[in-house]
Amino acid sequence: MLAAGLLTATAAPASAASTRPASVTTSSAPASATASGTTNADAAAGGTFQQVTGFGANPGNLAMYAYVPAGLPTGAPLVVALHGCVQTATDYYRNSGWTKYADLYGFAVVFPQTGSANNSLSCFSWFDATKDGRGSGEAESVVEMVTKARSLYGSDSQRVFVTGLSAGGGMAADLLADYPDVFAGGSVDSGLPAHCATSQSAASGCQNNDQRLTPAQWGDKVRRAYPGYTGPRPRVAIWQGTADTTVKPVNATELRDQWTDVWGIGQSASATRSLPGGTTQSVYNDAGGRAAVALYSVAGMGHGLAVGPGAGADQCGATGAYFLDTICSSYYTAQFWGLDGGGGPSTPGLPAPAGVTAAGTGPDAVALTWQAVTGAASYAVYRDGVRVATPAAAAYTDTGLRSGTSYGYGVAAVDATGAEGARSATVAARTTGGAQQCFTDSNYNQVKAGRATQSGGLTYALGSGQAMGLWNTFTTHTLQQTGPGYFVLADGQC
């Protein structure tokens, strides 16, 4: 029987069409585009699902679709959702449940789509080293979509997430390894560890067999994807059915080993809890007590995306081929990423402080206040993800900052034992004064000056990771520095 995880075929079996239930649509968007570069494909209660054309370099030959809630403000998060084999972007839009939470929590969703021209089963090429690496193939096409979405919708560059099913899950894991400077978090659903296979012949072994690698060896596959990277790593959710015979459950263990090693934490869970649908959640916390990795094991579920149709807050999606009625994985993944306004899951403890505000009070200072938390002995203040202070009161002034620079702050309550509770959602503040400096030069010189990096002959803006094209003395761009070690493309803007 054809399954969404059979990713190694070069030609589709003759019986492929007959194994796909008619309840899952295979229709795609109309081909004609409007002047805005979008094609209307479908409308939902809260927004519109459209094809977006002209999104930039497309070496992976993918199509871009997007769902944007009505009235979405700038600065909202962005989620990239990758379909499985024998599926389309439209299938994932209609069945996965992501649009419900896009409307509820306020974020845009990009649905990349591959097709039979790339793979006979319309699988993303998670196993092809020429297509799933930084700056190449399908991986580069997806990141170009992120750049386009940020331009169209004003998405927050610090809150971009990627999720995917089966082959889409394998590609999501690869993207998290390739672009930790782009994605703040990810979710791998019935998928594979990052860069498990580097050729089509090796893909089946990854799906079916224990690769017998240590956590450090798995972690090295991630570290090699972007050599020299020293910034923050994405937080990773892993979803796996215990009865999956297409992508065996050992893949979830390997994913757990891989990403806990990347985070430098152990493989023993910090906390576990039972969820609906026979699901067990195991959380692995970072040194600050915040979940870095979460493993969701769904008892008795086969190969597919866990959905839970219904009108409840924790219910979503529609059943169909490889959309299985167990639990709404999109709801719990959105919570894990903090898209519901929280800071993501942690071990049981104090709640996240509410009412966090931050405002620049001078060229080198930002003042923060928040509501006191009952039981808190002190608070942990984070600037751009780094803990910078532990004040006893529900207020703090951060000093010694750069003028005219934006910073992101989060606050967590700390109890008398020193245990840190959930962290608040990030709030932004900018110090006064100081014009943002711009630099126009060749890609070669931008790298030489430390404003960009290069990999595989291609150039990327430092911090934002925006693609700048070939690494040479002929290609010229303007980079604007918006923060310490953070540059964005600003051609024609300054």
Contacting residues for 191 by C-beta, under 8 A, at least 6 apart: 126, 164, 165, 166, 167, 168, 169, 170, 172, 173, 247, 251, 255
Instruction: Quote the pLDDT of residue 402.
Output: 84
Alpha carbon 115 to its chain centroid, in Å, reads: 22
Residue 386 in any domain: the answer is: yes
Per-residue pLDDT at 462 exceeds 50: yes
pLDDT digits (tens, 9 = 90+) for 184-195: 999 999 999 999
Question: Cα–Cα–Cα angle for 421, 423, 425, nearest 5°?
Answer: 155
Report which listed range, 9-23, 241-255, 350-364, is most confident: 241-255
How much is the pLDDT for 23?
Answer: 26
Q: How confident is the model at residue 387 (pLDDT cuts 50, 70, 90)?
A: confident
Q: What are phi and psi of 150, to 5 degrees?
A: -60, -35
Mean pLDDT of 346-352: 64
Cα gap 436→152, rounded to integer Å: 22
Question: What are the tens digits of pLDDT across the range 201-240?
Answer: 899 999 999 999 999 999 999 999 999 999 999 999 999 9
- What CATH number has the domain bearing residue 386? 2.60.40.10
Q: What is the mean pLDDT of residues 243-252?
A: 96
Could you tell me if 411 and 380 are in contact, meaning their C-beta atoms sit under 8 angstroms apart?
yes
pLDDT number for residue 435:
59
Q: How far apart are CA 192 and CA 204, in angstroms?
A: 11
Query: What is the pLDDT, as a whole number, of residue 346?
Result: 54
What's residue 488's pLDDT? 84
- How many whole angstroms separate alpha carbon 151 and alpha carbon 145? 10
Res 256 pLDDT > 90: yes
Are 260 and 318 in a shared domain? yes
Average pLDDT over every residue of 324-332: 97
pLDDT tens digits, one per residue of 121-168: 999 999 999 999 999 999 999 999 999 999 999 999 999 999 999 999
Backbone phi, psi, residue 185, to 5°: -165, 165
pLDDT value for 469? 92
pLDDT, position 37: 53
* Mean pLDDT computed over 39-44: 52
Query: Which of these three, 409, 430, 451, is where a domain ends?
Result: 430
Write the CATH number for 303.
Answer: 3.40.50.1820
Could you tell me if 240 and 210 lie in one domain?
yes
Q: Please, which residues have CB within 8 angstroms of residue 281's CB and are 6 or more apart in sequence?
A: 272, 273, 274, 275, 294, 295, 296, 332, 345
Q: What is the pLDDT of residue 385?
A: 73
In sequence order, the β-bridge partners of residue 79 are: 109, 161
The answer on 198 and 149 residing in a single domain is yes
Query: What is the pLDDT, as a whole number, of residue 9?
Result: 45
Q: Is there a domain that residue 7 lies in?
A: no
Considering the domain architecture, whether residues 249 and 372 belong to the same structural domain is answered as no
Kindly report the average pLDDT of the chain as a whole number: 87
Asked if residue 187 is part of any domain, the answer here is yes
Catalytic residues: 166
Which of 413, 430, 447 is the C-terminal boundary of a domain?
A: 430
pTM assigned to the model = 0.67
Residues 155, 48, single domain; the answer is yes
The reported pLDDT for the residue numbered 436 is 67
Among positive and negative, which fits the CA dihedral 169, 172, 176, 177? positive
Q: What does the alpha-carbon distance between residue 305 and residue 293 come to, in Å, rounded to a whole number? A: 19
What is the band of 11 on the pLDDT scale with cuts at 50, 70, 90? very low
Number of domains making up the chain: 3
Structural domain including 412 reads: 357-430
353 secondary structure, DSSP code: P
Question: Using one digit for the tens of pLDDT, what is the confidence trace for 72-81?
Answer: 999 999 999 9
Answer whether residue 473 shows pLDDT above 70.
yes
| Eight-class DSSP state of 122 | -
pLDDT at site 475: 93
- 382 — pLDDT class (breaks 50, 70, 90): confident
1 close to 163: Cβ distance less than 8 angstroms? no
Q: Are 396 and 386 in contact (CB under 8 A)?
A: no
For the beta carbon of residue 386, count every other beta carbon within 10 angstroms. 9
Domain-embedded: residue 344: no
Contact present, 203 and 127 (Cβ < 8 Å): yes
| Residue with the larger pLDDT of the pair 280 and 434 | 280
Lowest mean pLDDT among 26-35, 54-63, 139-148, 420-429: 26-35
Q: Do 411 and 476 lie in a common domain? A: no
Q: Percent of the chain, pLDDT > 70?
A: 88
Tell me whether residue 308 is in a domain. Answer: yes
Of 390, 397, 386, 387, residue with least CA distance to 361: 397
The total of other beta-carbon atoms located within 10 Å of residue 215's CB is: 18
Residues 265 and 309 in one domain: yes
Domain boundary (410, 430, 450) is at 430
| Amino acid found at 405 | T
- pLDDT band at residue 320 under the 50/70/90 scheme: very high
Residue 290 in tokens: 């915040």
No. of helices (H) and no. of strands (E), the chain: 9, 27
